[in-house]
Structure 1
Amino acid sequence: MKVLKFGGTSVGSSKNINKIIEIVKANEEEKQIIVVSAFAKVTNLLLEAAQLASIKKTAYTSVIEDIKTIHNQIISDLFTEKDKNEVLKFVNQKLADLKSILDSISLISELSAKSEANIVSHGELLSSFVIAKALQVNHIDAERKDTRELILTNTNYTNASVNFEVSNRQIQDYFKSNKAKVTVLPGFISSAENGDTTVLGRGGSDYTAAIVASALDADVLEIWTDVSGMFTANPNVVPQAMPIEQISYEEAMELSHFGAKVIYPPTIHPVLKKEIPILIKNTLKPEDAGTLITKTSKDKKNPVKGISHIDDVTLITLEGSGMVGIPGFSKRLFETLATEKINVKLITQASSEHSICIGIDDSNANLAKIAIDSTFEFEILKNKIKPLQIEKNLSIIAIVGDHMKSHQGISGKMFGTLGKNNVNIRAIAQGASEKNISAVIAAKDVKKGINSLHESFFKNNNKQLNLFITGVGNVGAKLIEQIEQQHEFLLNNLNINIRIVGLSNSRQMIFDDEGIDLSSWKEQIKKGVPASLDSFLEQVKALNLRNSVFVDITANAKVADMYAKYLKNSTAVVACNKIASSATYKKYKELKELSRSYDVPYLFETNVGAGLPIIDTLNNLITSGDQVHKIQAVLSGSLNFIFNNFTTETEFYDVVKQAQLEGYTEPDPRIDLSGVDVARKILILARESGIKINLEDIENDSFLTENNHKADSVDDFYNSLKTDADHFKELLKSANSNNCQLKYVAELINGKAKVGLKEIPVGHPFYNLEGKDNIVMFYTKRYPEQPMIIKGAGAGADVTASGLFADIIKIANN
């Protein structure tokens, strides 16, 4: 024998009811008990009608008509003209009875719990009659039984407690003589000893099914709903949530208590002792496996089975030195709450006994404050305890699993994951059994918190990175192109889902928390809102997305000044802008310390060598204990391009212009040709080597003329290059006469750095450096004579974008 319960959405339309008929037919050889909820929306409409009647609003008659319309539509779809008359007659009679009850309530302007239970019972009474008849006309041996004749309760009308001894006997007696293959029972409803209608609380249809299954020792209790089982998290909040194949009773109870709406929490208790399995199935997709709930959890590989949360939580803190060592404070606190019928969702107390913290429903916050203030009025007046602290707009987030206790580091992983994503924890509760670890967080952080935890604890998940990019010129456009091109590869091979959520140029910015459509970002940004650095940051904060990364692809000092604010907001920073890391040593150190303090990456690989892994290699050497003695490098792809293309057949001015047009120099080529850009790069390498150094400490042997340095604008600078053409020809002539190549070289030797143009002889590693290539030679304790050499393209939009991309992937893999 099996007991099947079908919820509101499962009986929400004629289409779904036909699905139920198919499910029942598929098990035709087995005896089945079908427990049904009211049709979708009907219970809420019944409660609405009751409230309207209690305040003498005649609109309750319109609500009755709405209920009638729902039933008439379903009946019209399910039955032929011949069969539907009997069903309509029953429905009309019940609705007439309902109207009489509501008329009486309107007359006296009072809605008692007894009347409310009677009113809401009509939903299940109507649906069970309709479904039983639908089974019968489809040639299924079915009959209907009123559950009020089977389940006996006390007179707590709207949330009744079951008398199991009597109820079990009545259920067993009825089914001993019942010969029908299928019995349809209205869920949710029951009766008191005096014969009055009672109900088992919202979600009580699940409970009804469990009571019947337990009484009859059913083989299985099937809960049919509109989702394919219990999920690792709420799929409406976590798109990557997965159905749980199998789970224990205790795990299911924990998840259901913490907001998993698939199953009503009390449902599990009647079947738990008899170890009757519960199977959660999807009425709309009966072929899906669903979730099996049994005594023990078989899957021990993943200690965390699910992540859930409760919204609308208020945190109340009772605190004071007068509590220390004085017994009875906890007892008085909880007695006060119990007297006011206030349910406590979470409790935590410091071992010093200095404070007790409880979580309750927001709706009870004011009542709780008044009651507790009254109980502890004397202690508050005497300053033995502080006035009650009330914090609202909170949620409880919980991870659940039977086997968490046998795995070390679960708590640390949970809190570390939340901390990395700037989710502040207000309170923590963890039982000794370690089946549930709960944390109170701000309601605004729930989505980010749950998604972050889900990524952390469920290995088959895709890790989602949310990028906010400032600067969409040549390099920015290439980065977007590369991300779009590699999206599917990263998703399928590395489980990384990169979304660009924000884009900004100097004029407009756009945001989309579901990810910007990269096929049309250029058109979209033209229609964006006016851009500003502060409003861009505020939007990043407002979206509050997990794994957020700010990507700076500008050469703007004001953008660089924003890095600290992003890091303090636990937003990673990836920058090709060299200004921040080459600013004062104090500023550089501050950013590095913020990165460590907030445990959020600050990466700037492209500051030196574009896409070449120069900084990463240097960091690996230092981290592994090596010591850098000397660095020699050609670090300007633009200068290398210029001097490789500057010949006796060309003019220096023309080559510089060509380099700018091809994107190798900054928009202002003076930054490159003055040596400042190279000086910044060797400065960054020196700092990453552990040397405290500033830009003014670097010797810059400039090859430009005084006339070049005095140029007030880019145009003036180009004019000065023409004027002083002979100077540059002399530099080339000298190198040629010495059979050398001109290279702009950066050096760091024994803590001293300098940059300048040098004549490089034949045979030197720099001599044959072509095009826009860079080269770096690290002489270290481990590489004293033959240096570690990194060589390759050091300029250009493609390689710079790929360097940024590599930093982004590094964050994803962190």
Structure 2
Amino acid sequence: MNMKKIVVKFGGSNLRRPEDIDRVAGVVQTYNRPLVLVVSAFYGITNALIECVQAARKGAGTISALEESQDYTLSLRALKKEILEANIKDPAQRAKTEAALNARLDQLTRYLTGIHYIGDVPDFVNDAILSYGERLSSLLLADVLQSRGINAREALPEDIGLVSDGVFGNAACDFDASTGPVAKALAGDGVIVVPGFYGVSREGKPTLFGRGGSDYSAASIARCIGAESLDVWKDVDGFLSADPGAVSAPQPIARLHYLEAAELSYFGAKILHPRTVEPLFDQGIPIRILNITKPELGLHPFTVIDAERTVTHDVVKSVSSSDDVAILKLHGPGVGFKPGILAEVTSALDRSGINIKSVLTAQTAINVLLARGHLDAAYEAVAGHHIPGVVEVSRNDAVAIVAVVGDGVLDASNVGSAIASRALSAALAGGVRVTLAAAGASEVAAYMLVDRRDRKLALQAIHDHFFGDGKQ
């Protein structure tokens, strides 16, 4: 029977302990149909690999740094052996899988050893090393599924032709090059397990899709094969009206438009990578968010993301926030009017590989919003580059961003026209110190920058206004 496949994504939050593999296998059996599984590294593995690379770079050529990376690969071998013993009962199959895992770990060890001797970490080597967390997960999961009588096999991005644009560290999928080969390679029955997080350049080198990029990998594969849906398994009940760790009694969101999900993710919601909807937006492939901790509910999605637009009674569907933001400010009496200044700034930041989140301008100041980790490099790039009209460059990383998201937020024809001002008023009434407020960059979102110490206070005040006892 020729049916569309479902792409199923399991993230690192699903893979914390050896017994979690058993839970994932149970979910796969519940589908009882051909699937493409996209898996992340086990929880914490990618961060540990990043630390290994950083340690190797700092201590290149030293015995201690070399021993540190060797100790880490030994701990990985022990972890994988523990997972195998918990999940594969047959000794012969367990030995076969362990040998395959050790061969892959040997490759990782050679990469780590190599950077000690050359004293540098080329971009292509960095991406190759960081992809090994996913490569180990996919091999392990495919073999565990086989041991349970499921027709499963592993397929690496380099084997299926998942081609990227070749940008190391933050690549995008080249759909013109990928769609045909990926659809052909992933055809047929059974369960195919693909490691997420990376594709390959046209030259065959691994290129990462950015941190959290396994969601994007899964969405790209779903587009290439024309999937029925992309099912993302989490350990929470889908999208909520706010972070349950920051506000009391957040409400579930059963349905979101692609744009709403993208903005919520961009402004700090941890459910999806912000780029997940990119490949699916014009294909109409829905994203379904399911909770792996509630197996009794079967394949029940808590949130469905698709092209259906719905304006709720009070417009706002969720309040999201992030403290991964900072402001680079250019001062001068005419910077907002003088032509060419913004172009020079963006060019200087682009040459340094720094992404701009947003830009807010006034007559005497240009505010550039960046990731907090990029602020110092951005300051050096701009302050050291004389720009006529700019008399001072300052920086501020003591801020957080808070956004209200919902279809109709900026629709002047209905209640949406007042949403941004209501959110700002609620924050100010709650004693929040607001630095900047903006609306108009997105048709479904408005946001403000607040003192970082007031982030939770702002979330609670705004959430109460739209959803709680203080609802107007």
Structure 1 and Structure 2 fold alike (TM over 0.5): yes
Cross-structure match for 2:383? 373
| Equivalent of residue 164 in structure 2, options 153, 158, 162 | 153
Match of 2:349 in 1: 337
* Preserved contact between residue 311 and residue 408 of structure 2 (Cα < 8 Å): no
Q: 1:304 is paired with a residue of what secondary structure?
A: coil
The match for 1:252 is 261
Q: Distance in 2 between matches of 1:317 and 1:126?
A: 44
| 2:336–2:361 CA contact under 8 A, matched in 1 | no
Cα distance change of structure 1 residues 432 and 358 upon mapping to structure 2, 3 Å threshold:
closer
Pairing 1:542-691 to 2, within 5 Å after superposition: none
Partner of 2:290: 281
Q: Deviations over 1:160-216 (max 9, x none)?
A: 23221111111122234xx33211111112222222222222112111111111111
Question: Which of residues 87, 90, 100 is equivalent to 2:110?
Answer: 100
The corresponding residue for 2:94 is: 84
Q: C-alpha offsets along residues 302-356 of structure 1, whole Å, 9 cap, x if unaligned?
A: 3111111121432233233334643222222322222222222232223xx3332
Q: Where does the alignment leave 5 or more consecutive residues of structure 1 unmatched?
A: 380-384, 464-812
Task: Select between 136-145 and 333-342 the one with higher mean Cα deviation.
Answer: 333-342
C-alpha distance in 2 between matches for 1:188 and 1:23: 22
Aligned to 1:450: 459
Could you say which residue in structure 1 is the equivalent of 2:396?
A: 391
Give the fraction of aligned pairs with identical amino acids, expressed as a percent: 28
The residue aligned with 1:481 is none
Q: Unaligned stretches of 5+ in structure 2?
A: none
Alignment match of 1:47 (pick from 47, 50, 68): 50
Q: Which residue of 1 aligns with 2:365?
A: 355
SS in 1 for 2:114: helix
Alpha-carbon offset, residue 398 of structure 1:
0.8
In structure 2, how many angstroms separate the alpha carbons of the residues matched to 1:107 and 1:433?
49
Larger radius of gyration: 1
- CA distance in structure 1 between the partners assigned to 2:311 and 2:231 by the alignment: 21
RMSD: 2.0
Query: Which of 207, 229, 243 in structure 1 is aligned with 2:252?
Result: 243
- 1:301 aligned to which of 309, 313, 316: 313
CA drift at 1:289: 3.7
DSSP 3-state at the match of 2:283? coil
Query: Which residue of structure 2 aligns with residue 35 of structure 1?
Result: 38
Q: Structure 2: which amino acid aligns with 1:157? A: F
**Distance in 2 separating the partners of 1:9 and 1:312:** 21
- Within 1, Cα distance between the matches of 2:272 and 2:463? 21
Counterpart residue number, 2:340: 328
Q: 1:100 to 1:328 in 2, by over 3 A?
A: closer
Alignment deviations for residues 541-573 of structure 1 (CA, whole Å, 9 cap, x no partner) = xxxxxxxxxxxxxxxxxxxxxxxxxxxxxxxxx
Q: 1:155 offset after TM fit, Å?
A: 3.2
Between the aligned partners of 2:163 and 2:337, the Cα distance in structure 1 is 47
Is the contact made by 2:36 and 2:186 (CA closer than 8 Å) also made in structure 1? no
Query: 8 Å contact 2:311–2:407 — kept in the other structure?
Result: no
Deviation at 1:462, TM superposition (A): 5.1
Q: Which residue of 2 aligns with 1:126?
A: 136
Q: 1:445 to 1:4 in 2, by over 3 A?
A: same
Q: Aligned partners of 1:371 and 1:432: how far apart in 2?
A: 25
Instruction: Look up the match of 1:715.
Output: none
SS in 1 for 2:131: helix
Between 252-261 and 182-191, report the one with greater CA deviation.
182-191
Q: Secondary structure at the match of 1:9?
A: helix
Match of residue 78 from structure 2? 69
Measured after TM superposition, the shift of residue 70 of structure 1 is 1.9
Whole-Å separation in 2 of the counterparts to 1:33 and 1:208:
12
Aligned mate of 2:22, from 18, 22, 27: 18
Secondary structure of 1:190's aligned partner: strand
Work out the CA distance in 2 between the residues paired with 1:377 and 1:171: 47
Seen in structure 2, the aligned counterparts of structure 1 residues 70 and 448 have a Cα distance that, compared at 3 Å, is same
Amino acid aligned to 1:16:
D
Per-residue CA shift, 1:77-103, capped at 9, x if unaligned?
Answer: 001123211111111111122112211
Counterpart-to-counterpart distance in 1, 2:37 and 2:455 = 37
Q: 1:108 to 1:432 in 2, by over 3 A?
A: closer
Specify whether residues 321 and 49 from structure 1 end up closer, same or farther in structure 2 by C-alpha distance, changes over 3 A only: closer
> Equivalent residue for 1:141?
151
Structure 2 residue identity aligned to 1:153: S
Q: Decide whether the 8 Å contact of 1:312 with 1:393 is kept in 2.
A: no
Alpha-carbon separation, structure 1, partners of 2:220 and 2:82: 32
Distance (Å, rounded) in 2 between the aligned partners of 1:333 and 1:273: 33
CA distance in 2, matches of 1:33, 1:152: 17
Q: Deviations over 1:34-66 (max 9, x none)?
A: 111111222122222222233231211111122
C-alpha separation in 2, matches of 1:133 and 1:375: 55
Code of the residue aligned with 2:162 in structure 1: it is I
Cα distance in 2 for residues equivalent to 1:392 and 1:129? 41
CA distance in 1, matches of 2:336, 2:466: 38
Partner of 1:799: none
Deviation for aligned residue 1:413: 1.3
User: Hey, what does 2:207 align to over in structure 1?
Assistant: 198
How far does residue 364 in structure 1 lie from its aligned partner after superposition?
Answer: 2.6
Give the TM-score normalised by the residue count of structure 1.
0.54
Tell me how far apart the structure 2 counterparts of residues 106 and 370 of structure 1 sit (CA, whole Å). Answer: 29
For 1:228 and 1:416, the matched residues in 2 are separated by 30
Question: Structure 1 pair 196/316, CA: closer, same or farther in 2 (3 Å)?
Answer: closer
Write the letter of the residue equivalent to 2:137.
S
Structure 1 residues 154 and 326 mapped into 2: Cα distance closer, same or farther (>3 Å)?
Answer: closer
Structure 1 residues 361 and 197: CA distance shift in structure 2, 3 A = closer
The Cα of 1:431 is off from its aligned counterpart by: 0.9
Q: Confirm or deny that 1:422 pairs with 2:442.
A: no
Q: Contact between 1:228 and 1:285, CA under 8 Å: does it hold in 2?
A: no
> What corresponds to 1:316 in structure 2?
328
What amino acid maps onto 1:370 in structure 2? E
Deviation at 1:297, TM superposition (A): 3.3
Q: What is the CA–CA distance in structure 1 between the aligned matches of 2:168 and 2:385, rounded to whole Å?
A: 30
Relative to structure 1, the CA distance from residue 266 to residue 106 in structure 2 (aligned partners, 3 Å threshold; closer, same or farther) is same
CA distance in 1, matches of 2:142, 2:121: 31
| 8 A contact 2:341–2:387 mirrored in 1 | no
CA 1:68/1:302 → structure 2, altered by over 3 Å: closer, same or farther?
farther
State TM-score, norm by structure 2: 0.91
CA contact (8 A) 2:284 2:306 kept: yes
Distance in 1 (alpha carbons) for counterparts of 2:92 and 2:38: 26
* Aligned partner of residue 153 in structure 1, secondary structure: coil
CA contact (8 A) 2:311 2:406 kept: no
Cα distance in 1 between the residues matched to 2:320 and 2:167: 30
Of residues 42-51 and 438-447 in structure 1, the stretch that sits farther from structure 2 once superposed is 42-51
